């Protein structure tokens, strides 16, 4: 192929891609608010469940009906072999939020506001927290002594909070879920004492409290591994008389606690009811259904 033919072919491909972009853009932008041609929407504020990405779909209404039920990336369109700009920018934005959730810290101001006292696992940094999960479930002797000074031994219920893999989940949900759990337990005649916050925390850290202070039920509220749908998902791991090294089947978990999943207030009420059931049955995990 000589140079002139190559140049002509490139021009033709570019022309086709440009014409496709022009015809596709109105379809994409009809669901995105725009005040002027210069307006660039903040993609973090766009509800992509309402955005029509596919040009000229065979069944527009059904496509949007299905998409409205999930945050998953359904029907992502393309420009040539590549993602569209909005799709790529949204991916980069969600990925950045996930990274921030993992590597940021829960603010001391919020912990003080909620009346939590702060301790740390044996992990000395976020990097160590990610690479040494075993240290995230252990405490120093000094920290265990602080637990014993601050927490009631042999309590009916002990609630703990850990950053886990998403500090953003704690920031987003804690203000709603702690009061909901406390009020629910109060209805059942149960009190919530001091609540520790554990930095660089893994779920089995709750088992150490079970061994050292022997509460009947321990509930760990912890930030879950963030994804590209949300970086604010919290879970509650609950166990009756947990012990270090116990089978994971002895825990019950309520996951996806966030605005787009189970709201924190609703989850808190359910957690309180589960704790009451565990105390009545004196067990937890898969055997609760027996």
Tell me how far apart the alpha carbons of residues 84 and 71 are, in angstroms, rounded to a whole number: 18
Residue 10 has pLDDT above 60, yes or no: no
Task: List residues bridging with 257 in a β-sheet.
Answer: 234, 262
The more confidently predicted of residues 38 and 90 is 90
**What average pLDDT does this structure show over 264-282?**
95
Q: How many CB atoms lie within 10 A of CB 178?
A: 20
- Note the pLDDT of residue 7: 53
Classified by CATH at the fold level, domain 105-289 comes out as Rossmann fold (3.40.50)
Q: Where are the domains of the chain?
A: 105-289
**What average pLDDT does this structure show over 73-94?**
83
Cβ pair 204, 244 in contact under 8 A: yes
Tell me how far apart the alpha carbons of residues 51 and 67 are, in angstroms, rounded to a whole number: 9
| Residue carrying the six token digits 């000589």 | 2
Strands annotated E in the chain? 78-79, 82-83, 117-120, 157-162, 196-199, 217-223, 234-240, 251-257
Tell me how far apart the alpha carbons of residues 272 and 266 are, in angstroms, rounded to a whole number: 10
Task: List residues bridging with 162 in a β-sheet.
Answer: 198, 222
**What average pLDDT does this structure show over 98-125?**
91
Residue 257 has pLDDT above 70, yes or no: yes
Closest CA to 240 of 267, 256, 219, 271: 219
- Note the pLDDT of residue 287: 74
**Exposed / middle / buried, residue 68 (Cβ in 10 Å: 0-12, 13-18, 19+):** exposed
The pTM score is 0.78
Q: How many CB atoms lie within 10 A of CB 47?
A: 10
pLDDT digits (tens, 9 = 90+) for 46-79: 777 787 778 888 888 888 888 888 878 887 888 8
The more confidently predicted of residues 94 and 271 is 271
Confidence of residue 95 (pLDDT cuts 50, 70, 90): confident
**What average pLDDT does this structure show over 95-112?**
87
SS3 content of the chain, % helix, strand, coil (to 5): 50, 15, 35
DSSP string, 39-103: ----GGG--GGG---SSS-TTHHHHHHHHTT--S--S--EETTEE-HHHHHHHHHHHHHHHHHHH
pLDDT digits (tens, 9 = 90+) for 205-228: 999 999 999 999 999 999 998 877
**What average pLDDT does this structure show over 7-27?**
46
pLDDT digits (tens, 9 = 90+) for 148-194: 999 999 999 999 999 999 999 999 999 999 999 999 999 999 999 99
Residue 115 has pLDDT above 90, yes or no: yes
Share of the chain above pLDDT 90, in %: 57
pLDDT digits (tens, 9 = 90+) for 191-201: 999 999 999 99
- Note the pLDDT of residue 40: 58
Element (H, E) at 264: helix 264-281
Confidence of residue 142 (pLDDT cuts 50, 70, 90): very high
Lowest mean pLDDT among 50-59, 137-146, 240-249, 263-272: 50-59
Residue 25 has pLDDT above 80, yes or no: no
Cβ pair 135, 123 in contact under 8 A: yes
Residue 238 has pLDDT above 60, yes or no: yes
């Amino acid at each position: 192929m000589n140079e002139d033919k190559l140049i002509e072919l490139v021009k033709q491909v570019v022309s086709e891609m440009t014409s496709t972009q022009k015809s596709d853009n109105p379809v994409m932008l009809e669901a995105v608010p725009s005040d002027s041609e210069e307006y660039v929407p903040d993609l973090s504020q766009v509800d992509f469940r309402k955005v029509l990405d596919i040009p000229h779909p065979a069944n527009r209404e059904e496509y949007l009906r299905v998409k409205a039920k999930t945050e998953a990336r359904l029907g992502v369109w393309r420009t040539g072999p590549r993602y569209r700009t909005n799709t790529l920018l949204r991916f980069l934005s969600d990925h950045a939020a996930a990274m921030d959730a993992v590597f940021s810290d829960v603010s001391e101001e919020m912990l003080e506001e909620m009346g939590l006292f702060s301790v740390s696992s044996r992990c000395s940094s976020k990097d160590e927290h990610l690479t040494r999960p075993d240290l995230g479930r252990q405490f120093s002797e000094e920290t265990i002594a602080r637990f014993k000074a601050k927490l009631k031994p042999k309590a009916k219920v002990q609630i703990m909070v850990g950053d886990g893999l998403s500090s953003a989940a704690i920031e987003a949900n804690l203000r709603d879920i702690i009061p909901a759990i406390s009020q629910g337990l109060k209805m059942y005649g149960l009190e919530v004492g001091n609540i520790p916050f554990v930095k660089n925390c893994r779920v089995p850290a709750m088992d150490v409290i079970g061994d050292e202070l022997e509460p009947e039920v321990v509930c760990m509220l912890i930030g879950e591994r963030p994804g590209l749908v949300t970086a604010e998902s919290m879970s509650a791991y609950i166990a009756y008389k947990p012990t270090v090294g116990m089978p994971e089947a002895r825990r019950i978990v309520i996951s996806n606690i966030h605005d787009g999943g189970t709201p924190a207030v609703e989850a808190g009420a359910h957690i309180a009811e589960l704790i009451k059931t565990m105390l009545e049955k004196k067990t937890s995990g898969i055997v609760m259904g027996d």
